[in-house]
Structures are given as C-alpha cells and as structure tokens.
Amino acid sequence: MTSETITADAAGTWTLGDTTVGRIGFGAMRLTGDAAFHLGTPSDRDRSIAVLREAVGLGVNHIDTAAFYFSSLRSANELINSALAPYPDDLLIATKVGPFRDWSGEWGTSARPEDLRGHVEENLRQLGRDHLDLVYLRRMEQDSIAEHFGALAELRQAGLVRHLGVSGIEPRHLAEAQAIAPVVSVQNRYGLGDHQPAAEELLRLCGEQGIAFVPFYAIAGDSGPHGATTAHGEAVLTAARAHGTSPAQIRLAWTLARGPHVLAIPGTGNPAHLAENVAAGALRLTAEELDGLNEAHTSAG
C-alpha cells in the first residue's frame, strides 16, 4: 500500500460539535522536540511548520494541541499559528486545560477552577484567535469535575469557547459533565493492547450518545509520551505483512474500526510518518484480522 496520494478523506468524517472533521486528525505534542513534556533537543522549526502545512494539504482538518506542549525553544501553539494562520474555515483546533507547566517546564499542581480562564486565554493568545473551537477539561485525578467543568461552561457562555470535551475521565464523569453543559468529545488513553474496562465503557457510551471518542497514544501503546511502541504482537505483524504496511498503520486502522465515532489524532514531527498515518485511514482490515486483533487487545487486559 502506498501513501503518496492518500488523503484524510479516506478515513471518512464525523461531525464534531458543528464542524465536519476527518476521522484522521493530527496531534501536535511531538512537534516541539525529541522528548515530549521534557526540555530535550528542540525540533527543527522549519520542519515542524512544514509538517503542519503538509497535514492540512493532505486534508487533515482536526488538530489537537495544548499550551503545555512546549520544549526549550518550541511551542506547539506558536508553531500552529505560524504555519497555518490565517486558519482555513474548516479547520478545528482542539486544546485542553487542567494540567500546566511553569516557565522551566516543570509540572504544576492541577489548575483550580478559577485558573481555567487564564489557561483558555493563554491558548487564545498563542494561537492568535478570539475563540477556541473545542476545549477539553483534562481531569487530574479529581473525584468530581463539576466545579472545573462548570468554569469552562461559563467561558462557553461568554463566547471564548465554542464546544467542550472531557479527558482522562471515568464514565461517571461524563454524566457529571453532561448535567452541566453539552459534551461533544471524550479524549482518553486508548489503543490496541491497552485494555481498560473504563475506556471500553466510555467507547460504548460515546457511540450510543453520538459523542466523539478520541484516543491518545493509539500508536504509542505502552511507550506513551516517549514515542511509538515497538512491541507488536503476531496479530499486528501478520496484518501488516498482508497489507504491506507498517505495524503503526495497523494499530491506527484497528482504532478507527472500533466505531464510526472514533477519531484518531496521531502525532509526529516526521513528514514520512505523517503520510503513513494519513494513509492508514484507507486501510480496511478483514473480519478475520479484526477478530485476531480484538482477541489480542482483550487478552492484554
């Protein structure tokens, strides 16, 4: 399978809030350097900007970012602003608040509800916008998210935010948020072999309610923020050989096959990997391959 002419349209679309987006999006976390969330070697600025422009050129219109995605010299939001502003009308930029890092890159404690307006305004400044399309509240181990989500709902009413999502949650938190304001998207860690009952329940609930489910680390697996996993089981390797693709593409194809409401946001600073990720949207796994991958997924739990 070649990836030279495959665009994001191949994966199909989903209506996120009031915007139709491709089911293959782009995660901005890896744009800033070689060590996500650490002050490692900064990325090459020109290459990062080129990757963003190429993503949009390939039809990607859903970009996931955050103000806390930065390295010693690079800010993901600033790169997005420099590469893509003035923004295309059909581009949806999602960001998230809750966690934060200080100027040295160290993580702070979880934001208080009254801090969230400042976090939203920081994203607005960095992206050069007067509103944010979609803002996720990333839960930081709070038992209840009502106060924090309520603060974001007020910003939505004020016009600073168009749509709200929740991230890093359990099923009960989705219901808690929905009692306050509409939730258009749930973003949780989820991927092949990362079998967690709460995530599976959220996947099901979102499908039933017409809410987007947006996994992060779908390719990374156990490697998490450190990059794509190399621990591929036989079911992944067999499918990759059959389709002439990389194991990472099989992982993405499996993720998309979990439901029409599932949106993938693989991230990379490498133009070749970008093309591979987008091309994964054209992969159609056979029933037999899906059975084998599903079995590998559930047995990993």
- 164-192 tens-digit pLDDT: 999 999 999 999 999 999 999 999 999 99
Q: What is the pLDDT of residue 141?
A: 86
What digits encode the pLDDT tens for the residues 198-234? 999 999 999 999 999 999 988 855 544 545 556 678 9
CB-CB contact of 262 with 255 (8 Å): yes
For residue 184, what are the contacts with CB-CB under 8 A and spacing of at least 6?
16, 17, 134, 163, 164, 165, 211, 212
Q: What is the pLDDT of residue 160?
A: 98
Q: Catalytic pick from 69, 136, 190, 217?
A: 69
Going by C-alpha positions, the residue among 284, 275, 165, 277 that lies closest to residue 214 is: 165
Going by C-alpha positions, the residue among 260, 261, 254, 253 that lies closest to residue 282 is: 253
Query: How big is the chain, counted in residues?
Result: 301
Beta bridge partners of 96: 136
User: DSSP class of residue 88?
Assistant: P
CA distance 7 to 202: 29
Q: What is the pLDDT of residue 226?
A: 47
Q: What is the pLDDT of residue 34?
A: 64
Going by C-alpha positions, the residue among 95, 86, 103 that lies closest to residue 119 is: 95
CA distance 39 to 41: 7
How many C-beta atoms surround the C-beta of residue 59 within 10 A? 17
pTM: 0.93
Question: Is 190 a known active-site residue?
Answer: no
Query: Residue 298: phi, psi to the nearest 5?
Result: -70, -35
Q: What is the pLDDT of residue 89?
A: 94
CB-CB contact of 207 with 180 (8 Å): no
CB-CB contact of 253 with 286 (8 Å): no
Q: Which residues of 27-58 are buried (b: 16+ CB within 10 A; e: fewer)?
A: bbbbbbbebbbebeebbebeebbbbbebbbeb
Q: What is the pLDDT of residue 37?
A: 60
Token pair of 237, please?
A: 């390797």
Q: What is the pLDDT of residue 3?
A: 42
The CATH number of the domain covering residues in 8-299? 3.20.20.100
Q: What is the pLDDT of residue 101?
A: 87
Q: What is the pLDDT of residue 121?
A: 97
Spell out, as residue ranges, where the chain has pLDDT lower than 70: 1-4, 34-40, 220-231, 301
Q: Which amino acid is at 161?
A: V
User: Would you list the DSSP string of 115-129?
Assistant: GHHHHHHHHHHHHT-
